[in-house]
Amino acid sequence: MGMTDFLKDLNTRQREAVTATEGRIRVVAGAGTGKTKALTCRYAYLVNVLGIDPANILCLTFTNKAAAEMRRRISAMVMSGDYNDFVCTIDGFCVKLLRRDIYRVGFPKNFRILDEEDSKDVAKACMDTLGIKRTEKTVKDFLKTIHETKALNDYIDTYMLPTSDRSEGMLSSPIGCYMSAQLKDYALDFDDIENFAKYLLDNFPEVRAYWQEQLNYIMVDEAQDCNSDNWEIIEKLAAKHHNLFIVGDPDQCIYEWRGAKPDRFVNFAADKNIVLDENYRSTPNVLDVANSIISKNFNRIPKELFTRKPEGVKVLHFHAKTEKEEARWIVDKIRELSAKGADFSDFAVLYRSSYLSHPIEQEFISAEIPYVVWGGIRFFERKEVKNAIAYLKVIADSSDEISLRRVLNVPSRGLGKQFLSRLEDLSHTSGKSMYDCLSAPEIAKSKGAAEFAGIISRGKELSKELGVSDLMDRVLDMSGLKKLYREDQDEDRLENIDELVRSMRFYEESHKGIEVSLSDYLQDIALYTNADCKKDSNVVRLLTIHQSKGLEFPYVFIIGLSEGIFPSMRTIRDYKKRGEEEERRLMYVAVTRAERVAFLTESEGYNQSTHMNKYPSRFISEIPRQMFVTEGHVGQELWERSRNMRHVIDEERFNEKYTRSGNGLNGKEAGTAAGSGPSDSFADERAQYESQFRIGDKVVHPSFGKGEIIATSKDMSAFTVRFESGAERRIRESFLKPEDLP
């Protein structure tokens, strides 16, 4: 395939990005501007036109789904059909680095990867050993402690190396116990994967030199979502050849809460900057609204998306009196458009927080509109799927004691805690693995133990002659799992394990021509995300805006657009101006999911989450009036209340800015402070008297001690306080005083 074949379908700026191969290049790629096309064409350009060996190209993405799509496109474009395994996620690359080099710190190259459920199992075992009571909360707190410890740079030397000097006291601590359990099984959790990769790059010059020499060209997709650890690894790898190509959009950076910051992308020292601003997804009317919203942010790289598509339908805003009316309106719109030929899968309902979906779900059920709520338990984290995979893990590696413990007695074989304890003791005293000890005379006399050992043994034989999907099919029958769920009449679990087998067949088909081992498959699925497991069907999608990132739909409803809900009061109060900008980026992402029409909806009423009345969001009032159409009456008074609610949420103290005038606020002073004078009725609603406290204030109670105000009564006379003990109490103002007073 010649150069012109790659360039002919690209616009001028895409072509510039594809052919800019040397140096540090930053591509600002707005929503729907064809960044994946540019990335894959650039890869093909490097290979087919410049003759670069694919083994010298690293292309990083953020999800396995994105990596798979990129590999699919590349394989159809490169001359020989040969492309390297270095089109992967950052975690996926780190695993490849560790498989090659982790032996340098005493780990075997076939170390195990613990997914979230495996980590919980290790935590629970440690808690039992340490005599810590196990509840859902205590397990979560235990793992949080481990995670926070691993955020420190020195934990690997201290706890995780075979040469680490672990004292008896250290082993009796939660951290020491957990990491010792990991080391015993040579197992890494998700925190460890990048940390160990960084450790090797930092401490072994030969490792760093090998990978720097190997990777002549590095490309990073969705670079705005990289956290500091991601950037550190990427910059280290690019330090020799300096050919670093990053693609992203700081306007779509919506993961500050997990370490991504738009600043890193905005301040990236580039030799060349390219902006992709021609949108191929949305209509001009949708883009006008999106551009208007995001233009209010300061921490960004200025750009304005445009499209050559026809104008389309104006963005539609609906104001409802109640949540139920809001939900019914959405149902009516879906029915109306469906009658004109739209499929249910053309619709998506997006929301800031999951609880907002409930009224919509109820109306969908009543109207018999098929829908699916995205989120919840991830496919590969469902109990029945975990059990099935655990059998494969033991078949692949019989020394995997975490997986063995999980399924030894699933389905029940009469091998309870006492048997497991005997097996563990024998393993410890003999120095053999638990699986090997199943054949010991004192253990093998148990019928259940012999049965389990026979299943694994037969599975090992079958794994040599069967593909992963056929092996799974056989194991589900041999183990009794399928029989268990069938006898329980558990259709959901049966459907899920059937889906597991189907997904394995799809995995095999997508790797045609490549020999896929059981170990390869298990490694890949350990890194899968929720989005990788979703199955398309003709249903309306209900999902959070965060989950919608990277998706597109003809018709998008953005619901719950009330001040305090979206934008989130908590985010703004926690992060001030940065929080507001993050929320605005989230709104921008939501709007740019729409191909044809974006619907903005909100309702009146009292919100139990914010403990405030609901008024239209600033994200609606910021849009120029001529850019959208409103259904439902929104009087001037309501917009005034909305503006003043914004003032409250942004943490300006009313008693510092306003004075009383009769039953309301003094209009002159209110207008000076807020930019527009609130109505008297708003003042009545706000407070019957002015309080000295606000949400977020630190207070002291004579009996309960110190705490933080987390909510207020409607008249501001009482406050919900979360005390240091964890208790939450509703307390009248007269019983509280500021923490800083004697």
**Catalytic residue annotation:** 35-36, 221-222, 252, 593
Is the Cα torsion angle 260, 42, 275, 620 positive or negative in sign? negative
For residue 348, what are the β-bridge partners? 541, 556
Distances (CA, A) of 38 to 27, 270, 386, 615: 10, 18, 38, 42
Indicate the burial class of 584 (C-beta count within 10 angstroms; 0-12, 13-18, 19 or more).
buried
DSSP annotation of 306 reads B
Q: Which of 625, 622, 567, 629 is nearest to 598 (CA)?
A: 629
Q: What's the CA gap between 461 and 456, in Å, rounded?
A: 9
Strand duo 705-712 + 698-701: pairing: antiparallel
Q: Where are the alpha helices (DSSP H) in 490-649?
A: 491-510, 518-525, 545-548, 569-591, 618-621, 636-649
Q: What's the CA gap between 544 and 521, in Å, rounded?
A: 30
Contact 80, 54 (CB under 8 A): no
Query: Can you tell me which residue has the tokens 């490169």?
Result: 78
Q: What's the CA gap between 702 and 677, in Å, rounded?
A: 39
Contact 624, 311 (CB under 8 A): no
Q: What's the CA gap between 475 and 542, in Å, rounded?
A: 35
**ω before 411 within 30° of 0 (cis)?**
yes
Other Cβ atoms within 10 Å of 561 Cβ, number: 26
Contact 687, 663 (CB under 8 A): no
Contact 152, 199 (CB under 8 A): no
